[in-house]
């Protein structure tokens, strides 16, 4: 980006800053003017993200008021809908950001260093967004806070997932604080702890599905393995996406080390897309033989009601086009990498949705051949559910933008 292309400062805010300056102590003045000294795109996006949070809060509170069974389209047969899949979307992204940042900060690959601060910060923001979304899915969240501690079931993957993710969020926040303090020794320890708890938590999230032996589509060791590989792919896309946007909203030129870092992340991302393509291919092929319930889901994916989700969003947007963009640009063209990351994030959102919903669409009694359960169970997200999903995205956007402003583009000395 060259100087003459930079967007103009927002003129309105300068007047506001001037008027504020007259009535405040100098420290507060400095803080306020620092917060208000952004570019036009910063303010546009920030206001938009706040509006979505406000709108989503109204939707979420309304869902609480009228009851989730009225507000959401989840049913007895499909109890987990878009809120759970969005929670997974956010925590997969968070774990991925942690994994990608750990490559640089914990495992010492120098090329990855410049992206570490932003990735660690965003891993906290995205998991917070995930927790917020699932707060509106769990019927008794305050009971959870009590009995997760008083009555733990150590055989439950969900208990481990929740508990480890709680610890993970704390470790990542601690790592970020030490990064800010430039204390890299402790930041690395915290980063390692965050990495280990994140991987453990995330594979447990996969195992929630993988260990349900009544659900053929999910059951088996595939899920925990897939979740970790998939997280690395999501993390790569998120790093590219947020770093590029970060430079845009901060109105800064990208330094050479950051360019090298994004090229390295692009390579990692392309590799992880290949891994997930490979996984997906074999998931489909193995699903075509054996258990009839599983085959019904695979056919719904390939040539049924979920075909557009699968072929257009998961395969084309999520993997094939981004991989082609990354490979054809030889990882050097960051605009191509950015476009690839945007498409991936959209595609990955559908991947999580399909993974959650498709595991439930085959009726429990499908093999009995009874009249009640002839076809697949239907599910479409309700207005309230979609509002809360948008709110989660608003939280990530607002958190990201505030982070860029408060931590001044996540610059660090390393």
Partner 1 sequence: MFKIENLKKESLGKLPLLERREFLKMGFVVTGVFAGGSILSLVSNAEKVFASAGEFAEKYPYKPHYSMVIRQNLCIDCERCLEACRTTNEVPDYGYRTAILEKHVPEAVGQKTEFIPVLCMQCNDPPCVRACPTKASYKDEVNGIIRIEKKKCIGCKVCMVACPYNARYFNNETRAIDKCDFCFETRLSKGEKLTACSAVCPTGARTFGDISDPSSEVYRMVHQLQKRVWVIRAEAGTKPNVFYMKS
Q: Which residues bind partner 1 (CB under 8 A)?
A: 67, 69, 74, 76-77, 79-80, 137-141, 143-144, 147-148, 151-153, 155-159, 162, 208, 211-215, 291, 359-360, 363-365, 367-373
* For partner 1, the closer CB: 30 or 370: 370
* For partner 1, the closer CB: 165 or 176: 165
| Count of C-beta atoms within a 10 Å radius of residue 78 | 17
Name the minimum Å distance from CB 371 to partner 1: 5
- Cβ distance 97 to 235 under 8 Å? yes
Cα three-residue angle 309-382-61, rounded to 5 degrees: 135
Name the minimum Å distance from CB 152 to partner 1: 7
Place of tokens 């009228």: 66
Name the minimum Å distance from CB 201 to partner 1: 13
* For partner 1, the closer CB: 79 or 305: 79
* For partner 1, the closer CB: 99 or 300: 300
- Cβ distance 362 to 300 under 8 Å? no
Name the minimum Å distance from CB 350 to partner 1: 20
* For partner 1, the closer CB: 336 or 356: 356
Q: How far apart are CA 190 and CA 159, in angstroms?
A: 23
Q: How far apart are CA 120 and CA 105, in angstroms?
A: 10
Name the minimum Å distance from CB 291 to partner 1: 8
* For partner 1, the closer CB: 265 or 357: 357
Name the minimum Å distance from CB 353 to partner 1: 15
For 268-306, letters b (16+ CB in 10 Å) and e give: bbbebbeebbeebeebeeebeeeeebbbbbbebbeeeeb
Name the minimum Å distance from CB 140 to partner 1: 5
Tokens representing residue 163 in the block: 């508990």
Q: How far apart are CA 308 and CA 315, in angstroms?
A: 10
* For partner 1, the closer CB: 77 or 252: 77
Place of tokens 């094939």: 320
- Helices (DSSP H) in 256-315: which residue ranges? 256-287, 292-303, 307
The DSSP 8-state label assigned to residue 254 in this structure reads P
Sequence length of the chain is 414
């Amino acid at each position: 980006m060259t100087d003459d292309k930079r967007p103009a400062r927002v003129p309105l805010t300068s007047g506001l800053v001037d008027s504020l300056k007259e009535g405040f102590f100098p420290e507060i003045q400095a803080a306020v003017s620092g917060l208000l000294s952004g570019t036009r795109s910063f303010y546009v996006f920030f206001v938009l993200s706040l509006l979505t949070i406000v709108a989503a809060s109204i939707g979420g509170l309304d869902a609480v008021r009228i009851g989730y069974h009225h507000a959401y389209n989840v049913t007895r047969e499909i109890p987990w809908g878009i809120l759970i899949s969005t929670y997974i979307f956010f925590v997969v992204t968070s774990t991925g950001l942690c994994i990608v940042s750990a490559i640089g900060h914990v495992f010492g690959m120098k090329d990855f260093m410049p992206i570490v601060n932003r990735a660690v910060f965003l891993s906290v923001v995205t998991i917070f967004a995930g927790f917020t979304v699932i707060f509106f899915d769990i019927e008794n969240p305050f009971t959870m806070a009590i009995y997760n501690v008083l009555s733990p079931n150590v055989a439950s993957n969900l208990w481990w997932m929740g508990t480890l993710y709680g610890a993970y969020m704390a470790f990542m926040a601690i790592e970020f604080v030490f990064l800010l303090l430039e204390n890299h020794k402790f930041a690395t320890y915290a980063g390692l702890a965050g990495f280990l708890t994140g991987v453990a938590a995330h594979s447990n999230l996969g195992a929630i599905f993988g260990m349900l032996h009544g659900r053929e589509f999910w059951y088996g060791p595939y899920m925990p393995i897939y979740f970790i590989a998939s997280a690395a792919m999501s993390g790569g896309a998120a790093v590219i996406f947020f770093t590029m946007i970060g430079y845009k909203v901060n109105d800064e030129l990208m330094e050479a080390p950051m360019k090298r870092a994004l090229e390295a992340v692009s390579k990692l991302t392309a590799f992880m897309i290949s891994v997930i393509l490979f996984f997906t291919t074999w998931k489909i092929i193995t699903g075509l033989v054996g258990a009839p319930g599983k085959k019904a889901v695979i056919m719904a994916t390939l040539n049924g009601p979920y075909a557009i989700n699968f072929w257009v969003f998961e395969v084309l947007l999520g993997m094939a086009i981004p991989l082609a963009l990354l490979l054809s640009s030889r990882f050097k063209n960051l605009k191509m990498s950015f476009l690839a990351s945007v498409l991936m994030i959209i595609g990955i959102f559908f991947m999580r949705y399909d993974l959650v919903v498709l595991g439930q669409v085959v009726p429990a009694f499908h093999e009995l051949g009874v009249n009640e359960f002839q076809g697949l169970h239907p599910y479409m997200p309700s207005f309230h559910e979609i509002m809360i999903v948008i709110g989660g995205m608003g939280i990530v956007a607002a958190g990201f933008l505030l982070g860029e402003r408060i931590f001044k583009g996540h610059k660090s000395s390393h």
